[in-house]
Chain A
């Protein structure tokens, strides 16, 4: 089944890498939305429904942790799994992200195989 993904990262290069990694992982993407920070991503979600959100942590304007804390109040984000993709590798960041509602956590640098390992179970509702 094809899915709609929202990729949130302040680097356009990284957004493209994440999209390519999802496709390499065999995930069928019908539509890919992009945002450069959490505030932009909330704007996207006002207009569009998605099935998966991949989100960086360190971003200007609104960081990834603040963004996912706001998601419960967003109609189009209800039940949508979020996977963090970030250079922040501490256990404290992982705990913070998972406590705020993230369902997966991928540390940069990463391989397409790692994206597959983390995203497929999340999409299958197993994580």
Chain B
């Protein structure tokens, strides 16, 4: 396990964190939703109208977000709760917020020194796609795109070093 300072020093673009973010996300979906995330061949922007965000503060500052469309968010909720799709109610925002929280927590736990040196904010969830996110990040976001039950999801980490 590499330390946060080693990883920060190794590559200013943080590209080396992509495999850790990828693994963190896959573990959350496998353990909590019982399904595998698969690679997405496209980077095409689809209508991802549900966004969950968790802030990171401490040794690593930034924002981790999970974006998908309403259909994917509803299916995630259904799988997390173990209920039929038509039984899913207003819990969708809570469920996607928890997914984002667990991906952020699992990601930071994979970097030595970051588990205790970085705090997470409670999740915030935005519905709708007509918005611009202005973060204080001073380096390009790293983003992974995957398929959840054939539906695209995007997970990004914007870092303020």
Contact = CB atoms under 8 A, between A and B. Distances in A.
B109 A89 contact: yes
A92 B80 contact: no
Interface residues of A, number: 23
B68 to A, nearest CB: 16
Contacts of A107: 109
B105 to A, nearest CB: 3
A20 B98 CA distance: 16
B96 to A, nearest CB: 9
A58 B97 contact: no
A93 interface: yes
Interface string B100-144: 011011101100000110001010000000000000000000000
A20 B82 contact: yes
A78 interface: no
A20 to B, nearest CB: 6
A13 interface: yes
Contacts of B116: 90-93
B108 to A, nearest CB: 8
A87 B81 contact: no
A16 B80 CA distance: 9
Interface residues of B, number: 24
Interface in B71-85: 77, 80-82
Contacts of A11: 94, 97-98, 101
A111 interface: yes
Nearest to B54: A87
Nearest to B104: A87
B50 interface: no
Contacts of A58: 120, 122
Given A13-B80, A58-B120, A109-B32, A87 B94 contact: no
A111 B31 contact: yes
Given A87-B120, A108-B101, A110-B31, 13 more contacts: A13-B95, A16-B81, A60-B122, A87-B104, A88-B115, A89-B105, A89-B109, A91-B116, A108-B102, A108-B106, A109-B31, A109-B32, A109-B102
13 contacts: A10-B122, A11-B98, A12-B91, A12-B94, A14-B98, A16-B81, A17-B32, A89-B108, A89-B115, A90-B116, A91-B116, A93-B116, A111-B31
